[in-house]
Amino acid sequence: MSSLTIAEARGRADLIGVAGYTVHLDLDQGDETFASRAEIRFTASRPGASTFLDVDAREVSSITLNGRSIDPATVADRRVELPGLQADNTVVVEATMAYSRSGEGLHRAVDPADGEAYVYGMSFLDAAPSIFACFDQPDLKAPYDVTVHAPQGWTVFGNGATEQTGPQDFRLATTKPLATYFVTVCAGPWATLRDEHDGIPLSISARASQRDLLEAQAPQMFEVTKQSFDHYHRLFGVRYDFGDYDQLFVPEFNAGAMENPGCVVHSDSMIFRGGISRAQLLGRSNTIAHEMAHMWFGDMVTMTWWDDLWLNESFAEYMSHRCLAESTEFTEAFVDFGASRKAWGYRADRAPSTHPVAGAPAPDAHSALQNFDGISYAKGASVLRQLIAHIGDDAFVAGVRDHIERHLYANAGLADFMSAMERASGRDLTAWQQAWLGTAGTDVVAVHLERDGDRVTGATVTRHAPVERPADRPHTFDVAGYSGGDRVLQADLTAERDEQQVPELVGQRVPELLIPNAADLTWAEVRLDDATLAALPEQLAGVPDGSARAVAWCALDAGVMTGRVDPRLLAGTIARSWGRESDDGIRAGVAMRIVPRLRAFLPAAEVPDAYRGIAAAGRELFDRAADGSPDQLAGARLVAGASDDVQLLGRWLTGDGLPESLRDDTELRWAVARSLARVDALDDATLQRLSDADRTMQGELEGIRIRALRPTAEAKEQAWESLAHDADLSNYQLVAHAEGLWGSGDPELLRPYVARYFADVPPLAERVTGMALGRVATAAFPWPVVEQDTLDRSREALARTDLADDVRRSIVDQSFLLECALRARTAFPGGDTP
């Protein structure tokens, strides 16, 4: 399947302009397909020329251009030629389209809780032609008029406010000019709650079976939505102008959310079951604020081509955290950013697949998707924070307002954005742009102290760019030191050379912990000195600044990843500090990001004891916390995920030993069941009882995952056969099989599936596409088999020419993690646990 190239997009944009779309979708055609009719009005600057239209249909029944019929058989490779254009043109395409199971296009899912079906449109990145014929590129924006015929009892949402015109018919209000990748329709028997704020109609919807959960959680979501609107209206000086603001929590969604103007879709995994931690609330609130920020950056002002995708995502990533910190209860939002989002970005920037924040080559649409990662999000947001440090916040905000006003409802790129910043600041930013936006890689920053007794007599900051990617990045950040839970040393500085003195630190007290970039203002790998590393297990939890603790955790994790720090130190720090950590976001980041991966870095014989120590940290917090408190929930979750104590887990599975608030916690019960399955201590009858008690989409996925988790040859074979050959599985079901298969078992049991990965996963590209393919290829990768043979097979696979881009990127990134784990095991083969 071809992918639109930048040259083709520029040529088409030079030739045509799109005046508007009229789209009709008939969703009452059965379970497999729907009918689509698209009428497109467009102009041509050179009458007599030809162009092409994008259409990805099961069957095209008719195509007419200015009243002339075009043979549907001429549609090839998702395109049809439109010859002999006039100055003003109308093309009409009638087609039968296929519902998707991959989370792209018009995805259809059936809720096992009640048998009800739901569909939602995900047009990003190039999936719009599988819903309606279109000129599918971001710089051919146009207004849309959409009508929908839906099954009886369904409701419909889309980019325009919905009017029901008949028992099964709906009309959506004419939209502002939209890029094709924003167009969506969401239909089904939704449970919907409505509100209003500042003249903007609001709604939140989820599956009917989730109504009770939705009603309990919607007030908090509405509150954050309203606070975010007020924040952005004040900050940008331009009001939201896409009509209603509907938010739908949809099943089997590939990402966290999608910023469709007026109709944002979120993953329904954010309609939480069981206990809800503050970290979960912050994460969901951040997603709400992130997608709303896109209404300005991305929706009102849209990138010209996919190589500027970073500007959409970096901007929304930064603005959402700023919005939460300044305008909601989540004042610690930037601590969470450092603990979780930046850790994701640092891993991406260390990998061989790293790329510049801006200007990474995107010769076609598919290649651009490979840059949709932690660099475009977290690193880009951090770079915007450095831009603010460089030019000042007032100039930054003025530049943002200028940029939005100049390109409202149109397109813009990097040059346009930087020009607005230069006008607002009065500074030439050419060198800054090249250093921070145009060069890949992460600088290493460290501070070295000279001392006399307990006083600093000299201080040097060093800054080193990767040798293979030289750069000259100015870093504005701080240095802080802590002893006994007090800050005893501090200085602000800008590192503009590879080595420079910090006279402000002279005379200050020598700390037990020395943390560069303690306020987490810059993007850099922080290298901690030996004394600080040694003191971390006992001292880290007492550091009073959340950002400094998040930086220290990231630095420790980076040290293990790069082979400089013994992974036992990381395990020991979790065991001794996690239970005393006060920030729920840091706790969640460590538990969800570091703990599952740590077992690959430790010598295999030491893994059980290390995880018992980690589980003990969770038990410490659980026993100390008040009943029903967030601390108790966090501790219970860590125990459930890390413990191999079959007796304890067996009691918890029945609610014995748990407080009243957790006895009926469905998510905690499944976490306990997973740990029991991991050691083959969960029988079929018990699993069936759990599944019978949770006949939901989530329960169905947990059943799949647990069956694959069992460390038996039969369980692994069944999981792999389903993953590799069952064409009826959804994107989520495929990932569940993969996660379970690799989640347990000794190398002897898992080793046969290393070769099968490279034989069976690349062909999945024939039925799974885009983000879904990348998720499956990543989850199925055999990096838990930490052996040189696995790495050798990965390198052999990368020499192939038949790999889809998404599979290749997954192999590159997962091979890098495997290489890091092998390096750590080689560098630290034995020794005492810290």
How do 301-303 and 410-412 pair as beta strands? parallel
- Report the C-alpha gap between 296 and 383 in whole angstroms: 19
Residue 43: give its domain's CATH number. 2.60.40.1730
Q: What one-character DSSP code corresponds to residue 20?
A: E
Within a domain: 582: no
Q: Around Cβ 739, how many Cβ atoms within 10 Å? A: 19
Within a domain: 575: no
Cβ atoms 169, 148 nearer than 8 A = yes
Which of 162, 189, 216 corresponds to the end of one domain? Answer: 189
What is the structure's pLDDT at 1? 62
For residues 575-600, b (16+ Cβ closer than 10 Å) or e, as one string? bbbbbebebbbbbbbbbebbbebbbb
User: pLDDT, tens digit, for every residue of 654-670?
Assistant: 999 999 999 999 999 99
User: pLDDT, tens digit, for every residue of 264-290?
Assistant: 999 999 999 999 999 999 999 999 999
Identify the helix (H) or strand (E) that includes residue 145: strand 144-149
Identify the helix (H) or strand (E) that includes residue 321: helix 309-327
- Report the C-alpha gap between 340 and 375 in whole angstroms: 13
Which of 189, 209, 229 corresponds to the end of one domain? Answer: 189
Residue with tokens 């007796």: 647
How do 200-206 and 245-250 pair as beta strands? parallel
Say how many residues make up the chain.
834
User: Do residues 178 and 316 share a domain?
Assistant: no
Within a domain: 347: yes
Residue with tokens 């750069």: 471
- Report the C-alpha gap between 155 and 186 in whole angstroms: 8
First to last CA, the chain: 53
What stretches in the chain show pLDDT beneath 50?
A: 832-834
Helices (H), 465-606: 530-539, 546-561, 567-577, 584-589, 595-598
What is the structure's pLDDT at 365? 87
Within a domain: 132: yes
User: Do residues 318 and 169 share a domain?
Assistant: no
Calculate helix-pair angle for 309-327, 380-391, nearest 10 degrees. Answer: 70
Nearest in space to 132 (alpha carbons), one of 180, 173, 80: 180
Residue 357: give its domain's CATH number. 1.10.390.10
What is the structure's pLDDT at 367? 83
CA separation (Å) from 16 to 134, 412, 679? 13, 18, 62
CA separation (Å) from 216 to 220, 273, 314, 624? 9, 11, 32, 28
Q: What is the tally of structural domains in the chain?
A: 2
Which of 136, 157, 189 corresponds to the end of one domain? Answer: 189
For 179, the domain range is 6-189
Catalytically annotated residue among 259, 291, 581, 739: 291
What is the structure's pLDDT at 255? 87
Tokens of residue 762, six digits: 């690349």
What is the structure's pLDDT at 831? 52
Within a domain: 37: yes
Within a domain: 738: no
Within a domain: 786: no
Task: Please state the pTM of the whole predicted model.
Answer: 0.96
3-state class of 114 per DSSP?
Answer: coil
Within a domain: 812: no
Q: Is 291 a catalytic residue?
A: yes
Exposed, middle or buried: residue 494 (CB in 10 Å: 0-12, 13-18, 19+)?
middle
How do 144-149 and 16-26 pair as beta strands? parallel
What is the structure's pLDDT at 366? 83
CA separation (Å) from 523 to 435, 477, 554, 678? 12, 9, 12, 38
